[in-house]
Every structure is written in C-alpha cells, then in structure tokens.
Chain A
Amino acid sequence: MSTETPKTTPAVSRRRFLAGVVAPAAAAVAAAPLAAALAANDAAAAAAKKAKKPAVPPPAAEARPLNRPDFAVAKTADERAALEKQWKQMVDLVAGLHKVPVETGSELPFGALMTTPRRLRAREG
C-alpha cells in the first residue's frame, strides 16, 4: 500500500489529534476497570449482607463505546442532526456486536485471515 504522506498541510498536528481523541479514550479505558472493580466490590459487600438470599447473577454490562464524537465539528443544524443520527447508529451497532458472545480466551486474528478449508469431498473423488 502507499505509505506516502499526502501533500496536505495539517492544521492540527498528529500529536494534538492523538491527545484529543486517543488520550481521552485511553483514559476512559483505564478508568473503566477501576470503576468496574469498585462496583464489583460494592456488589460483593451487598451480596454478603444478604447471604441467605439466593444469588442473582448481575445483569450483563451495558456495552457502549467509550468515546464520543466532537459535536462542534458540525457546522450547520443539518450536520449536527446527521452527526447525532449516525453516532446513535454507531452506538447501537457496537451494542449489538457486544451481544454476540466471544468465548473467553479466543484469540485476536493477526496475519492470515482464514485458513483454507480441507479439500472438499466433491473434488477429492
């Protein structure tokens, strides 16, 4: 693929871009386990108090994107409406993806996309 940097003059540096987008996302990711841990502790304490009651599994965590767009990017009311609509679609899409179970420990694909299936019976004969 082309690795050439296109001839455009960045108005915002990559560092600033990363600071604006990636850093908040990273902070949110970092904060999430802590918040989850605290919540889990509270839940555990509450559960201990009610030890006699049958254990109720906690509801599945609501999946949601950790970031959000910069709505100031929208220059008109139409753009703002379009951005809100598309962002809602993306949030729903991500939530839908998180409802599909991925077995714990299953790997992240890296490299070859899909192995060639074994030769098909019809052409083996």
Chain B
Amino acid sequence: MPTTTAVKRTDLLYLSLRELGKMLRSRDVSSLELTELALERLGSTGKDLNAVALLTPELARDQARRADKDLARGAYKGPLHGIPYGAKDLFDTAGITTTWGAAPYANRVPVGDATVVRRLADAGAVLCAKLSMAELAGGLGYHRGDASLQGPMRNPWDRERWAGGSSSGSGAAVAGGLVPFALGTETWGSILCPANFCGTTGLRPTTGRVSRHGAMALSWTLDKIGPIAHTTDDCRIVLDAIAGKDPEDTNSVEARLDWKGVENGSLKGLKAALIPANFAKDGEPETKAAFDQALVILNAAGLTIEEAKLPDMPYESIAVLMLQAEVVEAFAPLFESGDVRKLTDERAPVQAEVARAIAGADYVHASRLRLVMQKAMNRFFEDYDLIVAPGFLKIAPGVKEDFDTYFSGGDPVGGMGNLCGAPMLALPMGFGKAHMPVGFQLVAPPFDEALLVRVGAEYQRRTRWHLERPIA
C-alpha cells in the first residue's frame, strides 16, 4: 500500500481510487490535503490547459473537512469518501455559476444541485472545480478545439493539441493529474473522445442508468452522464455512486448494477465482434499498430474476436437528424433571442437555422428507423457478447485545426452505440504519432456495464497504458 512517504505529493492524484481510499482510511493522507493539492493543480496547470471553468474552493474545503471528521469518527461512506473530483460545467451546482461553456450563459447561477452532484456529495466526494467544455456540449456542432467560453481546450500531452470533446476539461483534468476522476456527459462521443485523446479511461453508461436531472439538456433521447478516470475500476466505483432511479428524471431507470464475475481474470467464453475501420484511408499507421496490439492482448486474455459487420443502417444520418431536431427545442430561447450569435463557433447560427427547418415528419421517420436499428442490434448481440472497435483513427488534432478537414470517415460504432443507448468503455492503448495517446472502445448490450468493466479491467491488468502520464 502506498504512503505519502512512498508516493510523491504530485503523484497522489494519479493513484487509483482504491489506493487513495486506503491512504485516507489509514490517515496517510487527509481529504483536506488531497483537496488542497487538487485546488493547487487545477489553479495552475488546469488554468494553463483551459481545463477549468471555475474553482470551487470554499465548497471543496468544507466537504473535505467534513470527510476528515467523518473518517475520524469512523463514519466511512465508501470508496469515494474524501476524494476530490471535477464536474463538467453543465451540471447544476447550487449558487455556483454553471456556464454550459457558452457566452450567453456566462452568468447563469442555478439554485439547486444536479442529482449526480448530490449523489457524489452523499458518497463523500469533494467537488473542487467545474470543468471546461465545448460550448453547449457541441449541440450546434463545433469545428475547432477552441469553441468554448473557456478558450482552446488543451491536451496535457501536447498543449497545442485538442483535449477532445465535449467533456474536454474532464479528460484533461484527469490526464493532467489535477483530479483522480471527473464527471462528463455524452450525447455522441463526448466522453469517449476526450478519454481516448487524453489517454484516460471513460465509461459512458446505458441511457437511463444515471439521472440527468440538473444537467444541461441537449438531446433528451441521446444524453448520458458518466465518469472519466484513470482506470476501469475507478469508473465502476463512480458509476456505482451516481447510478439509479431518480424521481426527478422520468427517463432514469432502476436497474441493478451486478458486478458478479467482474474480477474473473479470464475472458474465456466471451465472443467479441470486431468492427473494422479503414485505417489506410482515414487513419494513421501508428494508431492501427496500437489497436492491433490491443486486440492481441484481449485475445491472449481469452476473448474470442471475430470480424463482423454491423447491420446495414444509416446510423449517422439518424443520429444527426434526431440530435439537431432536439437541439432546436432544447435551446429555443437562444434561437429566439438571437443570442446564438454570441457563441464562439461562427457557424452556429447557420447550423441552428438548418436544424430549425427539419420537418417533424422527418424526425418521426428517423425515430422509427431508430427502432428498426435497435431491433437489428438486439439480434446482433445474440451472436456476440460485445463489440470492439478503434476509437479515433488519428491522434488529437491541433486546437485551432478545422475538424471538417482533419477528420475523414466516421467513428465506426459511435452512431450505433448512442442510438441504442448501449454502454461503451474507452480504454487507452498506447501512443500514436507524436507520442500522443490513442485508444479503443468496447460496446456492450444495454445495462451490461459489468461486462465492459470485466473486459476493461482484465485488459488493464495486462497493460500499463493507463499508468502513463504526461510530463508536468
């Protein structure tokens, strides 16, 4: 077990949640010490990375002191007790500015806490900062890594490169060792993308698994909330704390998280569908080599991997149409007021006008196609336990690079996974060009996060990519 004498102070926030928990319980470190360290790093490195929207020092110190007092009197709340974290700046925090990463909402102060913020407080976690994000979580599309109220969202591995998005600050803060875990959201790629580009682990749970009450609405049928952390096990711990039915969110469901068998150690008997990507056309050879190596490791762990093709459906078109149509309703006041022109991305007003012109009948048609697609995927998952696919085929682009020219080809499973509301896990798989992190993703049937954790944890037992860190 590490102790403060064995672990350099600056390394503490790179430890796993269980390691930090042991240190807290044995009084090798206090919650207040961890919190001060996180506040210090968020205030310095975090500001340099534009990862921080707002520090919350008063709240953090108050929560940390309470955590220490509770520990002293033996009232241990669980593995998040006393652990500092950051939350994407779209989760409501009572009396604390929550900007949604966008200029029109720069002075927005909510009156209550989002359910996830409250649940983490109940679990003893310490909120140290609201973390930066792409404006409106990319709801009106964004084309560069600087489309945020907080400025260019920089990657700790190379500050001239993008951290990924839209949960940019969440990915950067974990990778940079500013907090041990962070909360993000995903409508389409916003947890997995920063996790992969920053070399961290991201878990996007099943739709409805986590209450969205008090989180900015972007797309009611696609939005999901999940953790970004150093390890798969860390993500599991956070998910355990935030999941569950919430009367404030009618779409949330009560579905038990069953972790039985997660520590099995072997993946024998599991069959994965490998969804190939066109690296020759859209990717980089270094990324392909890293992905091939990840497949070798999974296979050595006992996972049967079989190349497969997803049912032939227009996944991305369905997702684009539904997302844009829902955005029109989610941000109606922004369009009506003309404040859409205050957004950083100069293409937002155009994007908004196109979205406003989508016909209701076409939205309904896309919704029906979505169900056809979901049924096809149900049949697909009867042949396979899970799906494995690369994440982005290239390393992170520059912060000012135009995504439209940088990225070609789509994410092979992103549209499908989000339309199904299926859980996905992003895992680091080494380094691509310019020693930038690259990653891959796993998709499981809805409500089978335990399977993702089982496979992800076994992969991370056999690799050390999740332990790599950028030079401070």
Question: Residues on A close to B: CB < 8 A?
Answer: 1-2, 4-14, 17, 21-22, 25, 28-29, 65-70, 73-74, 79, 82-83, 86-87, 90, 93-94, 96-98, 100, 102-103, 106-109, 112-118, 120, 122-123, 125
Contact = CB atoms under 8 A, between A and B. Distances in A.
B314 interface: yes
5 contacts: A11-B338, A22-B360, A113-B420, A113-B446, A115-B378
Interface stretch (B27-35, B343-351, B428-436): B343-351
B104 A73 contact: no
A29 B253 CA distance: 36
Contacts of A115: 378, 446
B359 A87 contact: no
B313 interface: yes
B213 interface: yes
A87 B368 CA distance: 23
A25 B261 CA distance: 53
A86 B358 CA distance: 12
Contact of A100 (B270, B357, B369): B369
A13 B332 CA distance: 10
A5 B333 contact: yes
B336 A13 contact: yes
Contacts of A94: 321, 358-359, 362
B321 A97 contact: yes
Interface of B: 92, 104-105, 107-108, 110, 207-208, 212-217, 220-221, 223, 249, 253, 261, 269-271, 313-314, 317-318, 320-321, 324, 332-339, 347, 349-351, 353-354, 356-362, 364-372, 374, 377-378, 381-382, 385, 420-422, 445-448
Contact of A1 (B220, B335, B377): B220
A87 B357 contact: yes
A97 B370 CA distance: 11
B215 A2 contact: yes
Contacts of A113: 207-208, 221, 374, 420-421, 446
B216 A1 contact: yes
A112 B217 CA distance: 18
B446 A116 contact: yes
Nearest to A106: B368
B354 A86 contact: yes
Closest 3 CB pairs of A and B: A1-B217, A113-B421, A66-B359
Contact of B107 (A5, A7, A93): A7
B334 A120 contact: no
Point out which of B270, B351, B369 has the most chain A C-beta atoms below 10 A from its C-beta: B369
Contacts of B353: 69-70, 73-74, 83
A86 B351 contact: yes
Contacts of B367: 108-109
B366 A97 contact: yes
Contact of B333 (A6, A82, A112): A6
B361 A1 contact: no
A11 B350 CA distance: 18
A5 B332 CA distance: 10
B281 to A, nearest CB: 21
B117 to A, nearest CB: 12
Contacts of A118: 382
A68 B362 CA distance: 13
Contacts of A74: 350, 353
B108 A114 contact: no
A66 B372 CA distance: 23
Given A114-B420, A116-B446, 10 more contacts: A8-B337, A12-B336, A21-B356, A29-B361, A70-B353, A86-B350, A94-B359, A97-B362, A113-B421, A115-B446
A24 to B, nearest CB: 10
